[in-house]
């Protein structure tokens, strides 16, 4: 470079002329882990098994009944309960109702280019009724993984970077490798969450939280 031009090239630009970098990394594609029961939908466990067992069961997932020892109070063993559940699982899952706003949100995420892996703890024997329900309610997805009590391996196998979940322990495990939307209508007391977990009461803000 000629010495006469060196002062021009070496002179720093005024702060008013400093621009954003010309080359920036694009946002990472959304690769979503989607839970079913208690997250995308309310299954019909309480409705169906109240009829079958001849005693009213409270709303909510069976896990809450086990934790509260509710089954013992109505004289049903855990073994008999799960045997009855398995015998009627197709009806329980086929009569499931989507959570308000859930399907619209998932459809919008898919339209925005998201990869969606449905990952559930449901038994493999429920795969056909699960597929049928997803098709019936027009839920878009790219992969379906059954019998995933520990969802972290599936999350890593599919290189997922977001999750929508309703179980606090599962959400905490997934937060090791991704960001998590934890859907919980009731805010858990005395529970500190991982920094990657966002607690919401429902699906209203989920699309914005994932895409912003």
Q: What is the DSSP string of 101-136?
A: THHHHHHHHHHTT-EEEEE--S-GGGHHHHHHHHHH
> Nearest-CA neighbor of 168 among 182, 154, 149?
182
- Asked if residue 197 and residue 102 are part of one domain, the reply reads yes
Q: What is the DSSP letter of 37?
A: B
For the segment 131-145, what is each residue's pLDDT rounded down to a tens digit? Answer: 999 999 999 999 999
pLDDT computed for residue 125 by the predictor: 96
pLDDT computed for residue 78 by the predictor: 87
Asked, for residue 2, whether it belongs to a domain, the answer is no
Cβ neighbors of 27 (< 8 A, separation 6 or more) are none
Asked, for residue 86, whether it belongs to a domain, the answer is yes
- Asked if residue 89 and residue 175 are part of one domain, the reply reads no
Structure tokens at 121: 């703890």
pLDDT computed for residue 10 by the predictor: 47
pLDDT computed for residue 22 by the predictor: 52
Separation between Cα atoms, residue 88 and residue 77, nearest integer Å: 17
pLDDT computed for residue 71 by the predictor: 84
pLDDT computed for residue 167 by the predictor: 92
pLDDT computed for residue 188 by the predictor: 57
**Residue stretches of the chain with pLDDT short of 70:** 1-27, 187-192
pLDDT computed for residue 114 by the predictor: 97
Q: pLDDT > 70: what percent of the chain?
A: 84
- Asked if residue 165 and residue 78 are part of one domain, the reply reads no
Number of H helices, E strands in the chain: 11, 8
Q: What is the DSSP letter of 41?
A: E
Asked, for residue 24, whether it belongs to a domain, the answer is no
Structure tokens at 186: 């009731």
- Asked if residue 73 and residue 59 are part of one domain, the reply reads yes
CATH code: domain of residue 206:
3.40.50.1000
- Indicate the pairing of strand 179-183 with strand 162-165: parallel
The beta-strand segments (E) located in 20-99 are 31-34, 41-42, 97-98
Which domain, by its residues, includes 113? 31-42+96-211
Q: What is the DSSP letter of 159?
A: T
CB 206 within 8 A of CB 181: yes
Asked, for residue 19, whether it belongs to a domain, the answer is no
């Amino acid at each position: 470079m000629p010495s006469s031009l060196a002062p021009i090239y070496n002179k720093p630009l005024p702060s008013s002329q400093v621009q954003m970098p010309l080359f920036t990394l694009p946002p990472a594609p959304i690769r979503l882990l989607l839970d079913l029961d208690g997250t995308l939908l309310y299954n019909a466990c309480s409705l169906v098994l109240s009829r079958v067992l001849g005693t009213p069961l409270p709303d909510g997932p069976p896990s809450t009944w086990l934790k509260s020892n509710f089954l013992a109070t109505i004289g049903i063993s855990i073994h008999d309960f799960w045997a009855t559940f398995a015998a009627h699982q197709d009806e329980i899952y086929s009569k499931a109702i989507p959570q308000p706003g859930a399907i619209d949100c998932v459809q919008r995420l898919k339209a925005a280019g998201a990869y969606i892996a449905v990952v559930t703890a449901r038994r493999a024997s429920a795969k056909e009724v699960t597929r049928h329900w997803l098709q019936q309610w027009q839920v878009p997805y790219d992969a379906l993984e059954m019998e995933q009590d520990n969802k972290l391996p599936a999350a890593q196998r599919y290189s997922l970077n977001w999750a929508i979940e309703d179980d606090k322990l599962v959400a905490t495990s997934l937060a090791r490798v991704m960001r998590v939307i934890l859907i919980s209508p009731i805010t858990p007391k005395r529970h500190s969450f991982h920094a990657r977990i966002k607690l919401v009461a429902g699906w209203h803000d989920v699309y914005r939280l994932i895409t912003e």
